[in-house]
């Protein structure tokens, strides 16, 4: 827009010639990404240009013409293939075959991917046909050449027709409202000089532009009209022109609207057929208040398919997804069923309806749901729609406006509601090592045959064909029994209305049973993830300062995992599982250990409060002088009967910045050995370890038997006799516990790894 040029144009244009000219064929580079994809030029007549692929140069001057008049204004809308493209618009005002004269670049280099701009027709411009050239590309500048070269982009030519005088001006600002599945209202603004005989309008489902020979669809003496008999869910293009006595204006710039879908009686939407980045699925609508957002994304749906996500960023920036129209919305026969999840935290979603699908204020809430699950499996939500909802309303899902929380929705059904309803508010309490108490809210219509319960250590949700663990339970609360200790369970319940009619399962619930007191312990830490020692069930830790107790994945005594305990000039403590015979006086705590220096000190004792490191009571101090597991690395502490029965054993380090490692922790009966036997016991080793097929037992002891167990404690093999070389070639690769039973009554268990 260069208004300051107009004065000079008034003076200069009378000297310009209007002869037809031959124009240069511009040259472009090899890039085919950045090109003019869509163009609309409009004033007293418009043209519409669309391209699906790159062409270096397209001459549309004979087929695409925009009409204006001296002193008129041509509006320009440009879109491009490829992000980052810019554009220049040239007009050969003096028709001399080039675009290098004054004001012949009325729209300079744009800054945006989409261009919405305008240029002015000089008031003294002579009537005639003038050449327009659009240049697109990425490297355009004020010195760009309308003949090229143009490395990244293309050139397209059009025509500009200047009429001497316009007796009848075009209406503007076309809008459509009150859109239904078969009708709409259109309106427009009158031109500055209003027509004497009203207006004609034309509409069609084809985007073919009407011309001066096209018959109008209707007439109006006002600046609006109602049109009907339309097809549902169809794009319509509409135009208006002024009628001024015997003359008529050109058709206006087109308006576009899409009719609504016909009402449905049922629906399933999983968004998989919807384009990524679209705001809605077919027949849906969206209402945005403030800066809320809603779009279709990939990877956020069930099984990582597409989903609809909403982000509201606060109550003032809410977003509403408006579902298709349902003819049975208030019949009381259907419900809305869907899956939802959040990225994190708690997301509030409100299920209701709108009476105006363009007005957020018309939303009426039916039910609020707090969504806390970050996965879909095991979670599904249902909302019963009452028959008080207006017949012309549309169901809607509103993001409650929780800041930083994104809600995802998938697999949405409008379907007949169940005849057997799901119990609600499943709650779990009073968890022990073998039991848990369950309670739930009875549905409005209580089931005639009680409830089914399904529980598992796997979080895979049950289906309608899954066999429940318990059938027809009538007690509520109910105590679930016979569970394993220190185990995570997942649980669901459903109503049983008859032998053939059960409700859906509730959303997933889970709990971790408590640790049961142990009488024996043999722990090599192989079965757990590296990280905190609490990854091993029933173990605990207490630290001060920067102290740490972790399961480490390298350098173990046998296998790959052991404990790394580091006080870091503070203190670190590992707390053992509860032992029912801690003060029986019959057992000892045994483990392999070494320190990063030969000055290490480990303290073995007990704590009376597992949350208070100061409750530690020392039983024995161990000087750890070895710096590897080789040699005499086994340590044993006899636990006296004076230890309280409710205490827990603990391994405590608080000496400097040393690192302690230990493995093969055992709680087993104490064996009293002679001096020679003690020395021999410390010398017993297996080698090689890890092994391939054969293991050899070293040390001056007499064997009675060798027993091999897997990590679950299952006996795998047993060898009787004093043979110290044993073949284990038929074992699969893995970690095993090898128990050596000596003729003197003592025993030793060693962890061995087969490659």
**Domain with 613 in it: what CATH number?**
2.60.120.260
* 448 and 534 housed in the same domain: no
Q: What tens digit of pLDDT does each residue of 589-641 get?
A: 999 999 999 999 999 999 999 999 999 999 999 999 999 998 778 898 999 99
* 646 and 580 housed in the same domain: yes
* 507 and 556 housed in the same domain: no
Which pLDDT score is estimated for 712?
Answer: 65
* 626 and 717 housed in the same domain: no
Q: Establish if 252 belongs to a structural domain.
A: yes
Q: Establish if 494 belongs to a structural domain.
A: yes
* 11 and 156 housed in the same domain: yes
Per-residue DSSP letter, 226: E
CA distances from 182 to 201, 231, 240 (A): 18, 6, 20
Give bridge partners of residue 297 from the DSSP assignment.
307
Which of 197, 227, 258 terminates a domain? The answer is 258
* 531 and 631 housed in the same domain: yes
Q: Establish if 76 belongs to a structural domain.
A: yes
**Is 134 a residue whose pLDDT tops 70?**
yes
User: If pLDDT is split at 50, 70 and 90, which confidence band does 36 have?
Assistant: very high
* 286 and 400 housed in the same domain: yes
Q: Please give the backbone phi and psi of residue 13, each rounded to the nearest 5 degrees, phi first.
A: -60, -30
CA distances from 676 to 499, 633, 637 (A): 72, 17, 19
**Is 13 a residue whose pLDDT tops 70?**
no
Residue 406 CB neighbours (<10 A): 20
Q: Establish if 675 belongs to a structural domain.
A: no
Q: Establish if 741 belongs to a structural domain.
A: yes
* 198 and 154 housed in the same domain: no
CATH number at residue 127: 2.70.50
Predicted structure pTM score: 0.66
pLDDT over 70 for what percent of the chain? 95
For 752, the 3-state DSSP assignment is strand
Q: What tens digit of pLDDT does each residue of 496-554 get?
A: 999 999 999 999 999 999 999 999 888 999 989 999 999 999 999 999 999 999 999 99
* 591 and 640 housed in the same domain: yes
User: If pLDDT is split at 50, 70 and 90, which confidence band does 683 have?
Assistant: low
By CB neighbour count within 10 A (0-12 exposed, 13-18 middle, 19+ buried), where does 212 fall?
A: exposed
CATH number at residue 205: 2.60.40.10
CA distances from 597 to 224, 232, 600, 661 (A): 92, 82, 6, 11
- State CA 232 to chain mean position distance: 34
| SS3 labels along 681-702 | HHHCCEECCCECCEEEECCCCC
* 248 and 277 housed in the same domain: no
Which of 669, 690, 713 terminates a domain? The answer is 669
Q: Please give the backbone phi and psi of residue 120, each rounded to the nearest 5 degrees, phi first.
A: -105, 145
* 638 and 534 housed in the same domain: yes
Q: Establish if 458 belongs to a structural domain.
A: yes
User: If pLDDT is split at 50, 70 and 90, which confidence band does 483 have?
Assistant: very high
The tally of domains found in the chain comes to 6
Q: What is the mean pLDDT of residues 570-596?
A: 94
Q: What tens digit of pLDDT does each residue of 327-379 get?
A: 999 999 999 999 999 998 898 999 999 999 999 999 999 999 999 999 998 89
Q: Establish if 19 belongs to a structural domain.
A: yes
* 176 and 254 housed in the same domain: yes
Q: Which domain holds residue 355?
A: 267-416
Distance (Å, whole) CA 315 – CA 234: 34
CATH number at residue 735: 2.60.40.1930
Which of 615, 640, 669 terminates a domain? The answer is 669
Q: Establish if 167 belongs to a structural domain.
A: no
């Amino acid at each position: 827009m260069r208004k300051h040029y107009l004065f000079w144009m008034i003076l200069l244009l009378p000297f310009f010639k209007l002869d037809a000219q031959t124009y240069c064929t511009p040259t472009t580079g090899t890039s085919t990404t950045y090109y003019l994809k869509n163009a609309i030029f409009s004033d007293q007549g418009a043209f519409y240009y669309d391209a699906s692929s790159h062409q270096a140069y397209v001459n549309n001057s004979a087929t695409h013409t925009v009409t204006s008049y001296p002193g008129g204004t041509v509006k320009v809308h440009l879109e491009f293939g490829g992000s980052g493209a810019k554009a220049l618009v040239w007009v050969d005002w003096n028709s001399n075959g080039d675009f290098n004269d004054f004001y012949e670049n009325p729209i300079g280099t744009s800054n945006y991917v989409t261009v919405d701009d305008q240029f002015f027709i000089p008031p003294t411009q002579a009537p005639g046909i003038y050449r327009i050239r659009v240049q697109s590309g990425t490297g355009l500048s004020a010195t760009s050449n309308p003949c090229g070269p143009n490395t990244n982009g293309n050139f397209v030519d059009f025509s500009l027709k200047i009429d001497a005088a316009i007796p009848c001006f075009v209406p503007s600002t076309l809008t459509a409202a009150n859109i239904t599945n078969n009708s709409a209202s259109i309106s427009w603004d009158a031109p500055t000089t209003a027509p004497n005989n009203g207006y004609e309008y034309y509409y069609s489902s084809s985007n073919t532009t009407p011309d001066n020979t096209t018959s109008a669809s209707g007439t109006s003496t006002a600046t609006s009209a109602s049109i009907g008999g339309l097809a549902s869910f169809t794009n319509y293009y509409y135009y208006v022109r002024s009628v001024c006595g015997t003359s008529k204006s050109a058709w206006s710039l087109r308006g576009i609207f899409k009719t609504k879908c016909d009402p449905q009686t049922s629906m399933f939407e999983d968004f998989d057929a919807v384009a990524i980045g679209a705001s809605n699925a077919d027949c849906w609508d969206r209402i945005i208040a403030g800066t809320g957002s809603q779009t279709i994304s990939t990877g956020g749906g069930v099984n990582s398919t597409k989903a609809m996500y909403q982000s509201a960023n606060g109550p003032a920036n809410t977003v509403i997804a408006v579902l298709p129209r349902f003819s049975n919305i208030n019949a009381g026969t259907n419900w809305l069923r869907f899956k939802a999840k959040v990225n994190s935290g708690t997301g509030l979603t409100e299920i209701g309806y709108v009476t105006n699908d363009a007005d957020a204020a018309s939303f009426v809430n039916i039910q609020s749901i707090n969504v806390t699950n970050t996965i879909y499996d095991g979670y599904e939500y249902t909302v019963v729609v009452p028959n008080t909802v207006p017949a012309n309303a549309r169901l809607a899902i509103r993001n409650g406006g929780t800041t930083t929380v994104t809600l995802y929705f998938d697999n949405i059904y409008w379907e007949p509601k169940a005849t057997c309803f799901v119990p609600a508010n499943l709650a779990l309490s009073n968890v022990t090592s073998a039991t848990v108490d369950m309670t739930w809210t009875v549905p409005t219509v209580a089931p005639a045959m009680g409830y089914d319960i399904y529980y598992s250590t796997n979080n895979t949700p049950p289906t309608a064909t899954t066999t429940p663990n318990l059938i027809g339970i009538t007690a509520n609360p109910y105590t679930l029994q016979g569970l394993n200790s220190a185990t995570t369970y997942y649980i669901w319940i459903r109503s049983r209305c008859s032998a053939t009619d059960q409700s859906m399962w509730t959303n997933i619930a889970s709990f971790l049973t408590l640790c049961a007191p142990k009488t024996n312990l043999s722990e090599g830490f192989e079965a757990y993830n590296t990280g905190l020692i609490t990854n091993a069930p029933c173990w605990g830790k207490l630290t001060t300062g920067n102290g740490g107790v972790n399961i480490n994945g390298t350098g173990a005594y046998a296998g790959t995992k052991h404990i790394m305990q580091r006080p870091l000039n503070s203190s670190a403590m590992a707390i053992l599982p509860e032992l029912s015979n801690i003060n029986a006086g019959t057992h000892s705590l045994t483990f392999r250990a070494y320190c990063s220096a030969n000055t290490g000190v480990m303290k073995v004792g007990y704590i009376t409060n597992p949350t208070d490191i100061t409750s530690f009571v020392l039983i024995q101090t161990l000087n750890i002088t070895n710096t590897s597991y080789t040699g005499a690395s086994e340590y044993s502490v006899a636990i006296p009967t004076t230890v309280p029965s409710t205490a827990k054993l603990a391994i405590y380090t608080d000496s400097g910045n040393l690192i302690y490692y230990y493995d093969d922790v055992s709680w087993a009966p104490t064996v009293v050995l002679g001096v020679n036997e003690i020395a021999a016991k410390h010398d017993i080793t297996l080698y090689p370890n890890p092994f391939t097929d054969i293991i050899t037992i070293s040390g001056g002891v007499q064997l009675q038997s060798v027993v091999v167990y897997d990590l679950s404690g299952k006996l795998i093999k047993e060898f009787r006799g004093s043979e110290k070389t044993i073949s284990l070639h038929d074992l699969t690769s893995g970690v095993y516990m090898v128990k050596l039973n000596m003729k003197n009554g003592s025993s030793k268990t060693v962890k061995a790894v087969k490659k």
